[in-house]
Amino acid sequence: MTESTAADTAGEQVREDAPDALAATLDALGTGAYLADEQGCILGVNARAERFLGRPAAALVGRDAHDLLHRNQRGELLPRTQCRIRGATLSGRTAQGGDAWMECGDGSLLPVSWLVTSYAPADRPAVTLVIFHPRDDAGTEGGEPEPVTASLTELERLALLAQTTTLLTSTLDVDEALHTLIGLVVPRLADWAVIDLITERDEVWRFAVAHSEEGGLTYREDLQGPMPPVPQESPMPLSRALRGVASALAGPETYQGPPDSGIAVEQRRLFEATGMHSAAIAPIRSLREVLGALTLGRSERPERFTPSDITLLEDIARRAGLALENARLYQRQRKVAETMQRHLLPQLPRVPGLGMTARYLPAPDASQVGGDWYDVFPLADDVTALAIGDVVGHDLDAAAGMAQLRNMLRAYAWSQQEPPSKIVEWLDHASLHVTEVSMATMIFARLTVADTGQYELSWTNAGHPPPLLITHDGVARYLTDGHGILLGVAAHRVRPDATAVLPPGSTLLLYTDGLVESPGRSIDEGLDRLRRHAAALAHRPLESLADRLLAQVRPPLNDDDVALLAVRIPS
């Protein structure tokens, strides 16, 4: 005997034994209902249950209700021990809930509210009455059940959430984090992903409208950009999500009526341009505020989003909100640090005849400030002072020490018309008592112009990489004279001076060790690399020379900040 024949026979037997009053009672109920015996097998159903479930009575009666109908929100068969409807049926107790799903005859999923109670008709053994009704939020009141989505298994869902957490927290760049988020959900969950952000000025910006295609993701730039303000009273799904009120499902029909705001107009345009027939929208929240909204849309795949998809979308959006908040906080800190650095490092003065440019690159993992510095300033005797240095460390403490050292150097150099060595000796001694600098390297130089127009450099070097002189003909050599120990080691040590004539059209390069030194390369290799590249760039304009040197010479794995000062002698 086949399964269907057995079910039909059981159904006929039940209907033969059941009095007409029992069938009439079930049909009189204004919602779906079925009777179950003490083993949980279905004894009888009413017409509404047949319509809601898309199954005739013959396919229901005699079957185990749990195995046939009871599912979780992803359409999987619930473990028997976790099914509240089955537990109440077998125990004969009264229970109710609004968190169940039943599988329909076509494989779709019906979210239901339910009530289980014992039922004892006259002259018959007690049975269990199960009453169920499509949930109001499912949008299937008395109508067709929503089809089940292409749901992920529990393992796939957990894996997606874990991957979301890992990837989103691996970057502190806002744009990178959001593009990573889009790549996680499209095309795995949807054909389209839309991200709307609330800026720090409480303006809405449509950051991305991304679509899954064979070649990968494409972005609809014509749909991206500024959005109208968030209306405070609008009941429309995106407006509610941007206020942090609730997640919701939406479709093109949601925005077909008269628009209540500019956002509603943009949403109608979005659905028309993308062809989305179903969308799920969730707020992107941080611990303190609403940051935006994430919308997933389907246009190619036929299944619609259901309320069961909202839970997963909210989990993803919650993780995105935390990652986005961290990235924004980091960017704010970087902005503050960059502002501080701009004020700590000086603007280069205008010196007639001389070309000058400077660069500063922070350490990749630091807070955009550090101990590397440069300085150029005129002295009282019509001499131009040049300096470059490196205070140990690349953090705020090093930056503070650098500022102290630089200001003291300016004071000594301006007030005392002495050779560079004497100025640095005084600076070294004072730094031990006045500043919090432990150790530092530096070069201090005086650039003078003779009556003949010849430029001469006099300098002293306190443990710093040597200056590089590049002639207009492309001959590059290091000025290795005048070298002494670094600051903070022996304050009363006599320091040497050195002098050199700078040929017309030549370029003097002062730099810090971050340009030439890295863990995988010796300092000699770095110096040789800098010399060769600088010689090849001798004819470049000064700005271009500085940029090219940083791009070509700085080690890719460098974890130190870099300061660069270039001075070109007139031809």
Per-residue pLDDT of the chain (571 residues; tens, 9 = 90+): 443 343 344 334 443 344 445 566 677 677 888 988 888 899 889 988 999 999 999 999 999 999 999 998 888 888 887 888 988 888 777 788 777 899 999 888 899 888 888 776 655 677 888 888 887 554 333 333 333 344 566 677 777 888 888 888 888 888 899 999 999 999 989 999 999 999 988 899 999 999 988 878 999 999 999 999 999 989 999 999 999 988 999 999 999 889 999 999 999 999 999 999 999 999 999 888 999 999 999 999 889 998 888 888 999 999 999 988 888 887 777 777 666 666 667 789 999 889 999 998 877 655 455 678 899 999 987 899 999 998 876 556 666 777 788 888 999 999 888 999 999 999 888 877 666 667 889 999 999 998 888 999 999 999 999 999 999 999 999 999 999 999 887 666 789 999 999 999 999 999 999 899 887 788 899 999 999 999 999 999 999 999 999 999 988 767 778 899 999 999 8
Inter-axis angle of helices 396-415 and 420-434, to 10 degrees?
130
Please name the residue ranges forming H helices in 191-252: 237-242
| Dmax (CA) of the chain | 128
Is residue 472 within 8 A of residue 355, CB to CB? The reply is no
Q: Which amino acid is at 4?
A: S
Inter-axis angle of helices 154-168 and 307-344, to 10 degrees?
10
Q: For the range 549-555, what are the long-range contacts, defined as Cβ-Cβ under 8 Å and sequence gap of 24 or more? A: 549/509, 549/515, 550/359, 550/361, 550/515, 553/515, 553/516, 553/526, 553/529, 554/361, 554/514, 554/515, 555/516, 555/517, 555/518, 555/520, 555/521, 555/526
Cβ within 8 Å of residue 397, ≥6 positions away: 436
Please tell me whether residue 133 adopts helix, strand or coil conformation.
strand
User: Which domains are seen in the chain, by residue range?
Assistant: 3-138 (3.30.450.20), 154-333 (3.30.450.40), 346-568 (3.60.40.10)
Reading the block at residue 252, the tokens are 């093109």
CA distance 402 to 362: 14
Full-model pTM: 0.51
Phi, psi of 523 (to 5 degrees): -65, -35
Q: Tell me 191's DSSP state.
A: S
Reading the block at residue 309, the tokens are 């998809």
Phi, psi of 440 (to 5 degrees): -160, 155
Pairing mode of beta strands 483-484, 455-462 = parallel
